Amino acid sequence: MTRKTTIAFALALASAAPLMLSLVPSAAQAQGVAPYQPSGVLSLNAQASADVPQDVVNITLFYEQEASDPASLTNTLNQHADAALRQAKGVSGVTARTGSFSISPSTDRNGHISGWRGRTEIILESHDFAAASKLAGQIASNMQVGEVQFSLSPEAQRAAEQKLAGEAIASFRQQATASAQAFGYSSYTIREVNIGRNGVMPRPMMMMARAASFEAKSDSAPVPIEAGTSTVTVNVSGSVQMK
C-alpha cells in the first residue's frame, strides 16, 4: 500500500467513525428501555353496589283483530287505540303513548291472501304504580294487558350512584391506608384515580298476561303489579404512592 493510499484509507475511517457512533444510541433505543418505575407504588380497586327499588312501571296494552281488507282493519285498530289514549289522558301521574302497530296478510294453503290480521299497542308509564294499575284495569275492557315491566328512573339512578361513589372512595382510601401500613409506610399520596359507573343491572319483575284471563274480567279490577330492584354499581380504581 502506497503512502497516498494509506492516508486516504485513514481519512475514510475517520469520516465514518461519527456515523458509526451515531448509530449506537439508535440501536439502544430500538431495543427499548423500560421507563422508570418508582418504588412504593400500589394499584388498588374498590367497588360499591346496592339493590335499588325500581320506581317506574311500563304497562303495554294491545288489541288484535282480523278483517277481510287492510283499510277497515286499520280503522278498527285506530279506534281502539284512540279510545284508550283518551281514557288515559285524564289520569294524573300517568303518561300514555302509542306502541307498535302492525298489519300482515293471512294466506291459505295455496299461498293466496285470505284476510288480514293487525295489532296495535299503547304503553302506560308512571311512577304511581297504583294509578297505572287502576287505569290498566279500566282499559282492559277495550284492550288486553300484554306486558308489565319495571325500571329505574334516571333520577333514582343518579342519586344511588352519588351515594355509592362516596362509599367506594372511602373503601379505596381505607385500602390505601391499610396497605401502606402493612408495607411499613406511614402515609400515601394518590397518583391517579378513576371513578367508573357500571350502569344498572335490572332484576326485572315482568308479567306476561294471558289474553283470556283479562277478557273474562268485567269489573275493571286493577292489574296486580309488583316492582323488583335494579343493581347499581360504582368502581373506583387507581394507584397510590406509599411514603
In a domain, 215, yes or no: yes
In a domain, 172, yes or no: yes
Residues 68 and 186 grouped into a single domain: no
Residues 99 and 115 grouped into a single domain: yes
Residues 71 and 97 grouped into a single domain: yes
Residues 131 and 190 grouped into a single domain: no
Query: Which residue in 77, 67, 83, 86 sits closest to 119, CA to CA?
Result: 77
Residues 148 and 161 grouped into a single domain: no
In a domain, 5, yes or no: no
User: How far apart, in whole angstroms, are the C-alpha atoms of residue 197 and residue 163?
Assistant: 12
Residues 101 and 219 grouped into a single domain: yes
Q: Which domain holds residue 84?
A: 56-152+204-229
| Mean pLDDT estimate for the chain | 84
Per-residue pLDDT, 136? 96
Of residues 131 and 204, which shows the higher confidence score? 131
Question: In this prediction, what percent of the chain has a pLDDT beyond 70?
Answer: 76
In a domain, 24, yes or no: no
Under a CB-based contact definition with an 8 Å cutoff, are residues 99 and 125 in contact? no
pTM higher than the cut 0.75: no
| DSSP structure class, residue 2 | -
Residues 86 and 172 grouped into a single domain: no
Lowest-confidence region among 20-29, 92-101, 198-207, 212-221: 20-29
- CATH number of the domain encompassing residue 148: 3.30.70
Q: What is the pLDDT of residues 162-207, one digit of tens each?
A: 999 999 999 999 999 999 999 999 999 999 999 998 767 665 444 5
Residues 127 and 72 grouped into a single domain: yes
Q: Band the pLDDT of 230: cuts 50, 70, 90.
A: very high
Residues 79 and 120 grouped into a single domain: yes
